[in-house]
């Protein structure tokens, strides 16, 4: 099993001055694992790598809004990025917790349907989440 995993593992190495994205995980009340699509982990950034700490961890230059988060991260939490100064990415820095998660809050109810089974009526509600476009409503 180890040999199979080693064949498919890619070794990531970054140099000081490279830019990377940082993995954060959204939470909606209960943490959900194994769900694909829009509930999959998201990345924020790009952040510049200041230096390498140990064999598999890097120190990042985080903005002041993320001062409550420790600035050394394992390579598994990073994704490479070819830096271009015209790229602009917005994300809610003030809502990110120390464990790199943030709370998803509902903004509006878009639709409601009642589906009837044999003995029960199940309500289906389509919710627009804050910081997401309408096409990602669930």
Please report which confidence band the pLDDT of residue 90 belongs to, taking 50, 70 and 90 as the band edges.
low
Q: What is 21-89 written as a DSSP string?
A: EEEEEEEBSB---S--GGGS-EEEEEEEEEEEETTTEEEEE--GGGTTS-SEEEGGGEEEE---TT---
Residue 25 to residue 44: CA distance in whole angstroms: 10
Q: Residue 76: its pLDDT value, please?
A: 86
- Name the CATH architecture for the domain at 2-103: Roll (2.30)
Q: Report pLDDT digits (tens) over 2-13.
A: 888 778 777 788
What residue ranges of the chain are covered by domains with CATH 2.30.30? 2-103
Residue 52 to residue 107: CA distance in whole angstroms: 41
pTM of the model: 0.52
């Amino acid at each position: 099993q180890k040999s199979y995993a080693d064949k498919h593992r890619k070794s990531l190495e970054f140099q000081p001055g490279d830019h990377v994205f940082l993995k954060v995980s959204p939470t909606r009340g209960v943490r959900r694992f194994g769900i694909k699509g829009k509930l999959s982990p998201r990345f924020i950034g790009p952040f510049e790598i200041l230096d390498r700490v140990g064999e598999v961890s890097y120190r990042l230059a985080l903005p002041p809004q993320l001062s409550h988060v420790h600035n050394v991260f394992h390579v598994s939490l990073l994704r490479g990025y070819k830096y271009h100064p015209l790229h602009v990415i917005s994300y809610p820095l003030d809502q990110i917790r120390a464990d790199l998660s943030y709370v998803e809050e509902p903004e509006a109810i878009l639709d409601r349907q009642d589906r009837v089974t044999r003995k029960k009526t199940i309500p289906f509600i389509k919710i627009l989440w804050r910081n997401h476009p309408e096409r990602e409503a669930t």
